[in-house]
Amino acid sequence: MDDEPKTAAELKEIRIERRRAQDADGIKAMAEIAAADVAIRKRTAKLRALRLAKEAADRAKPIPPRATPKKKKST
């Protein structure tokens, strides 16, 4: 870094450039968040459809009755 003092105009330009970089980073971060949100919603919809299909198949298939064990006669 330079140890020489900056003029007011140079400091202003540095602040403006820093602000532009922060704004660009913010926009990029928001786009990444939005993309992740869309991916999560798609994955959730796919998993929901799979779950509902499995539940429907389970309802269509009858549950076999359990065989009751016969009690042993005590002598």
Mean pLDDT per segment of 10 residues, for the chain of length 75 residues? 80 96 97 98 98 93 77 71
The angle at the Cα of 57, spanning 53 to 58, to the nearest 5 degrees, equals 115
Answer whether residue 70 is part of any domain: no
Residue 6 contacts residue 14 (beta carbons within 8 Å): yes
Let me know if 20 is exposed, middle or buried by CB neighbors in 10 A (0-12, 13-18, 19+): exposed
Answer whether residue 53 is part of any domain: yes
Answer whether residue 16 is part of any domain: yes
Decide: pTM greater than 0.75. no
pLDDT of residue 71: 76
Domain extent at residue 27? 1-61
- Give the contacts of 14 (CB within 8 A, at least 6 positions apart): 6
Answer whether residue 13 is part of any domain: yes
pLDDT of residue 2: 65
pLDDT of residue 73: 72
